[in-house]
A = this chain, B = another copy of it.
Amino acid sequence: LGSADGAEMMAAWILLSCAWGQGMRAEDFAMEELATEKEAEESHRQDSFNMLTFILLLTLTILTIWLFKHRRVRFLHETGLAMIYGLLVGVILRYGIPANSYHNKTPASCSLREGPTSTLLLNVSGKFFEYTLKGEINSREIHNVEQNDMLRKVTFDPEVFFNILLPPIIFHAGYSLKKRHFFRNLGSIITYAFLGTAVSCFVIGNLMYGVVKLMQAVGQLTGKFYYTDCLFFGAIISATDPVTVLAIFNELHADGDLYALLFGESVMNDAVAIVLSSSIVAYQPAGANTHQFDASAFFKSVGVFLGIFSGSFVMGAATGVVTFTKLHCFPLLETALFFLMSWSTFLLAEACGFTGVVAVLFCGITQAHYTYNNLSEESTKRTKQLFEVLHFLAENFIFSYMGLALFTFQNHIFSPIFIIGAFVSFLTCQIAIFIGRALNIYPLSFLLNLGRRHKIKGNFQHMMMFAGLRGAMAFALAIRDTATYARQMMFTTTLLIVFFTVWVFGGGTTPMLSWLHIRVDVDPDQDLQPSAEGQSKTKQESAWLFRLWYTFDHNYLKPILTHSGPPLTSTLPSYCGPLASCLTTPRAYENHEQLRDPDSDLIRGDADLTFTFGDTAITANGASGSGADAAGEEALERELDSREQELLSRGTRLVFPIEDHI
């Protein structure tokens, strides 16, 4: 029995059983007297049915993904597919249900002089009922509140995206980062993410402002659209999400460095874009509605940006570092605790006014670096798989929801003028985005290449340019606030841009890869070997910073936070002895003793020892010549790699304490 049969069986089964259930309940309802109880049950069933729609959408997507993977179809990624299915269901929900099936009655209304409060009391002959504000409603829409109610039921609270769906996606991104390639390209990634996103945001914002002015002159724009709105749009649309491209890279084993650059950039620029957009919202010139440039407000925005970003970073990293080392015997407890801690990082950051998504990203990176080493073997597998499943489901859900939202979301009104406006702005945006991304990638790559040993080649730059897809983060940021005309316009435009980039650029990845002659089927082990070219051009400054951090991490943080690394008693100066022995766990000593044991099977060959020596040599003297430096950097990379392998094999690492060599 194939899966297709399964789906068919399921569909037939749903129809059959629902028909029976409906019949049974109908007579049930006839007997019931309380209208509210009946209404509540009806609403509960409607809710269940709506959720079921989403679940079946996801099921359908998964079955089609399987078919595509089975037949090696690469022109459409699962996310693109999910959007198409969502689109179809959205069309059915909006136009398939005849309007006369609704009662078209206007609900009860009452008048008040004052503005809306979040809670309203209704007095019905002495009994009080509590009502909560749902939102403003257009005066045209009053008469079909009921139909809108149905459509609104399938639209979620935007906060759901931020609080429930995004965290697992972002955490998984941080947790599954391929560390070796990531750290090797850290400088470039950070440059692209911070400088690049800022450039992209300002270029897109300014171009869009020009277009807005033009449209206002022509009279196409019916609402207000300020400069800050344009910048805000620039920020949200700068969050790239090359999920399609990366999935194909993974499948084809494309170049590791290019993968790391793209993945790292997209992960970090999500964080930058989200903080950037909230600092733009915080930009409020002193004179209320002047909308002129205000230096103090600008610097306040910059301050907010730095404050929120660093706060979220520190919070995520700090929570990621909190360790639990004695839970080894109970993998279930360990996994549950790990899950709860990641989520509490997110909530903690939100509760404190920082950005949860950024915090959870750095929490993921830190946990992969430290906590992962403390988990039992079973928990490492469990946590990886748990987050993999959550990430997979959340991502496909968001994309199918995007498809659905195009036709069912309340706050984009379908008037011809609006659609024309949206398309015009879509096209200009697309051009603006292209220009923005070009001004991000090419000049920055040129600058970075001045300092890089491994140059970012021309075809890599073109590929990065091409891979600037927009996805879940742009959508989540756009849907968060759709109160004003400008924001509604942005939301619709963002939706169209996501569709366009995922389908067109996502589908064109494989042809583009071969057209740009980017090597595929790279053996990750072979990729490890240092390339002979360009070793002499190492910039000592950046390497020095990295080395300093590495030494500190290796000698102090790792021993304190995990069992790997040398015991603190050997790395700390002797006057810190009591503190060191108090902070070192027995297991670290065990590792240490195993090392001294000459009969141990774990002693590695000469080659490995050389690397460890090289490593220690660096830690001992940081100011050696550039030739030794290059060798040292190779050693660092190998070290990072061996750490990654260690994560997989959980073998005991061999580390000679410094004292032995000085």
Binding site for B on A (CB under 8 A): 1-3, 6, 9-10, 13-14, 17-18, 20-22, 24-25, 28, 31-33, 36, 39, 43-45, 47-49, 51-52, 55-56, 58-59, 62-63, 65-66, 69-70, 106-139, 142, 145, 149, 159, 163, 282, 284, 288, 300, 304, 307-308, 311, 314-315, 318-319, 322-327, 329-330, 332-333, 335-337, 339-341, 343-344, 347-348, 350-354, 356, 382, 385-386, 388-389, 392-393, 560-561, 583, 585
Contact = CB atoms under 8 A, between A and B. Distances in A.
Contacts of A343: 55
A112 B122 CA distance: 7
Given A17-B352, A108-B119, 12 more contacts: A1-B560, A3-B327, A10-B322, A13-B319, A58-B336, A66-B326, A70-B329, A108-B121, A121-B137, A128-B137, A128-B142, A129-B134
Contacts of A115: 124
B332 A388 contact: yes
A352 B20 contact: yes
B337 A62 contact: yes
Nearest to A20: B311
A340 B109 contact: no
23 contacts: A1-B585, A3-B326, A21-B354, A24-B308, A24-B353, A31-B282, A31-B284, A33-B284, A33-B288, A45-B351, A70-B329, A106-B121, A109-B123, A110-B121, A110-B123, A116-B122, A116-B129, A119-B149, A120-B120, A129-B137, A131-B131, A131-B132, A336-B389
A85 B120 CA distance: 34
Given A282-B31, A344-B52, A132 B129 contact: no
Contact of A48 (B134, B350, B392): B350
B111 A124 contact: yes
A445 B123 CA distance: 57
A207 to B, nearest CB: 28
Contacts of A106: 121
A1 B122 contact: no
A66 B59 CA distance: 37
Contacts of A131: 120, 131-134
A121 B386 CA distance: 44
A218 to B, nearest CB: 29
A51 B346 CA distance: 10
A340 to B, nearest CB: 5
Contacts of A330: 66, 69
A56 B337 CA distance: 10
A6 B324 contact: yes
Contacts of A348: 14, 17-18, 48, 52
A18 B351 contact: yes
Contact of A351 (B48, B117, B315): B48
Contact of A10 (B9, B24, B319, B560): B319
Contacts of A354: 17, 21
A159 B118 CA distance: 23
A351 B389 contact: no
Nearest to A127: B136
Contacts of A304: 24, 28
Closest 10 CB pairs of A and B: A21-B352, A109-B121, A131-B131, A25-B353, A48-B350, A48-B351, A110-B110, A49-B351, A21-B353, A52-B347
Nearest to A40: B118
Nearest to A382: B385
A389 B107 contact: no
Contacts of A288: 33
A71 to B, nearest CB: 12
Contacts of A9: 322
B129 A145 contact: no
Contact of A32 (B124, B149, B284, B389): B284
A160 to B, nearest CB: 12
B124 A65 contact: no
A226 B159 CA distance: 43
Contacts of A109: 120-123, 128
A106 B142 CA distance: 28
A327 B354 CA distance: 42
A351 B20 CA distance: 12
A21 to B, nearest CB: 3
